[in-house]
Amino acid sequence: MTPSKPDSSAAGKSKSGPQKAMEKLGLRNDMDLALHLPLRYEDETQLVPIKQLREGLTSQVQGTVVQCEVQLRSRRQLVAHIRDEAGDELVLRFLNFYPSTQKALAPGTQVRIRGEVRGGFWGREMVHPTVKAVSDDTPLASSLTPVYPASAGLPQAYLRKAVAAGLKRADLSEVLPPEVIPPRMLSLREALQCLHHPAPQMSLDDLEERSHPAWQRLKFDELLAQQLSQLQAQRERALQRAPRFEVRLGALHERLLAVLPFELTRAQRRVVEEIAGDLQQNVPMHRLLQGDVGSGKTVVAAMSAALAIANGWQCALMAPTEILAEQHFRKLVSWVEPLGIETAWLTGSRKGKQRRDMLVRVADGSAALVVGTHAVIEDEVHFARLGLAIIDEQHRFGVAQRLALRAKLQSSGESDGGQPLEAHLLMMSATPIPRTLAMTVFADLDISTIDELPPGRTPIVTKVFGDSRRDDVVAQIAVEVAKGRQVYWVCPLIEESEKIDLQNATATHQELCAALPGVIVGLLHGRMNSADKAAVMARFSAGEMAVLVSTTVIEVGVDVPNASLMVIEHAERFGLSQLHQLRGRVGRGAVASVCVLIYTPPLSQTGKDRLKAMAETNDGFEIARRDLEIRGPGEFLGARQSGAALLRFADLQGDLHLVQAARQAAESLWDQHPQAAERHLARWRGVRPEYLKA
């Protein structure tokens, strides 16, 4: 077994440490190894005379060891001196070393040393350089030396040999027709060879900044595979069948409009029409409804549900937390139950007879609208005729959970000409999707956008204070409470942590109780049981509680129009989109509202960028754009698991021209060269293909 090829033998054979480490990195075959690209490069192609070494630069020298000894100064250390052909000397210092290090530096040994040069008491020195024994005829490297992403137990030397062997064996033949590849691009083999073994004259900046032409080819191929995956998912979905809903005059959705205590905005009416257009087709809807915090997505969900229910089908709405699910349930019940629609409430906290009764009503179809958490997709939940599935805060659910919800209709046995029916799927998000993500990771979705807020909403003023202003903030809370307003105070932890010194919810609750005598201060956090959380929220919503100290369980869904002040403790610890969501809990009525961000200095650059963005804009789309810039697509997407691996090489912000080229190439490739498209996908796709359909 060679070190260059991970063990694929039958179970029972033991694997070495490096082989196990390679498997943990996902390096299981030759193509994996060929695409395991360097983090950076070391220049071992030239030697620098000791006399010409410059402090602060990393250089390679060659010489003979003239002295090596263990010295006891402030600490035990190994100190060696080498001398080059010109007679100049360099000190090597090792503060941590093994006997083998001392043996490799025995006096008289000729060595090649590479490290950063610095000034020392005895002259120039290198601390912990790399050491390699050489002879007079040992050749210099002919290309830059790659340094690969590795892990514990996986030496660079082992990994370099493995990658070089995998690169040699991998099938890198060109599978794309020439007209699909943008002009003047390298072949895939040339690009990979260049990136693994770049010539000495190549620009390290171009390589490490990923702007070199070799990187352009890798990025294009990756983006093309991603676009092909999305296009394949769309086309496969077009072959599936879903129930077709008729939109009739005077039907349930129009009756719902008549009983609502407000009028829909133009944007809400537009997206309702877009959704209705999808539901009138017998192809499954796969639409994302996005809108800023407070834009009124819930009423759009209610209108969509009414269209399904009017046609004799059930609708399920799934939310990530019980608090959010209950907020939806209360709103929807107040709107639809007067119209004679029966509802069901399914969460993990519902037990015993109450739960059994709900399951029966869902299974026999008497509950037309089912609202809940993950409990909606549990095996024991059976729908009579599920026609529409709505998922709120969709980025918090993984693909497997969305697939499970859609499968609930298939299990009911409904079919169209013998073909099983799929449920229509509407996903909702209060985190607007930046254009670059919409073109790539969400390219398989139709997107509807609510781009205006309901009338009467007041802009939220955001203020940023250091924690030295904490007492001033508490004083302002007393002023707001005296006016009859309500206040949120959000903390990142529930109780004290020895690892992170942050103000916590329980301590803040005690502090505010003491500072605000006569004021009812509540406490809400994720470790409370569902009944206690519901009781606290009910009192706050009813206005019986003036101040609510909470962790981020109130991030979404909580709607208390009388709340006018949001205080976020240790705001620098939160993500930008999370800060925006929390801010959106106030400003939901006609009262002028303020969001106070308290930070603890010193701030990192990321922390400064987040707080600056919050202070400068209330626009959710601008917040999303900046969040993507700061965090990158991986964190921004959360648990979406889009079906195509998150991009390893391409940068959605900097490579937009390649995204557009890949989109154009994907359609022509599927239409004119389907076999080439399949081969390209097979080369790049290492995920479960059914996830592409979610």
CB 452 within 8 A of CB 295: yes
Q: What are phi and psi of 370, to 5 degrees?
A: -115, 125
Q: Are strands 58-72 and 40-42 parallel, antiparallel or unpaired?
A: unpaired
Model confidence at 409, pLDDT cuts 50, 70, 90, reads low
**What pTM value is reported for the model?**
0.71
What is the model's pLDDT at position 1?
35
Position 113, amino acid: I
Average pLDDT for residues 19-43, to the nearest whole number?
Answer: 89
Residues 347-356: contacts with CB under 8 Å, at least 24 apart: 347/322, 347/372, 347/373, 347/375, 347/530, 348/322, 348/373, 348/374, 348/375, 348/530, 349/322, 349/529, 349/530, 349/531, 350/375
Q: What is the pLDDT of residue 406?
A: 66
For residue 556, the model assigns a pLDDT of 54
The whole-number average pLDDT for the span 24-44 is 90
Torsion of CA 108, 110, 113, 119, to 10 degrees: 40
Q: Is 222 helix (H, G, I), strand (E, B) or coil?
A: helix
Q: Give the pLDDT confidence score for residue 74 in this predicted structure.
A: 78
Q: Give residue-wise pLDDT tens across range 122-181.
A: 778 999 999 999 998 899 988 888 999 988 888 888 999 999 999 999 999 999 999 999
Region at 371 (left for phi over 0; alpha for psi -120 to 50; beta for the rest):
beta
Please give the DSSP secondary-structure letter assigned to residue 280: T
The β-bridge relationship of strands 486-490 and 547-550 is parallel
What whole-number distance in Å separates Cα of residue 191 and Cα of residue 308?
Answer: 52
DSSP string covering 606-634: HHHHHHHHHHH---HHHHHHHHHHHH-HH
Radius of gyration of the chain from its Cα atoms, rounded to whole angstroms: 31
pLDDT tens figures, 466-478: 999 999 999 999 9
**Phi then psi dihedrals of residue 162, to 5 deg:** -65, -45
Q: What are the backbone angles phi and psi of residue 617, rounded to the nearest 5°?
A: -150, 145
Give 240's pLDDT tier (boundaries 50, 70, 90).
Answer: confident
Q: For residue 388, is pLDDT > 50?
A: yes
Give the β-pairing of 593-599 and 460-466. parallel
Answer for the pair 449, 291: CB distance below 8 angstroms, yes or no.
Answer: yes
**Residue of 89 and 404 predicted with greater confidence:** 89
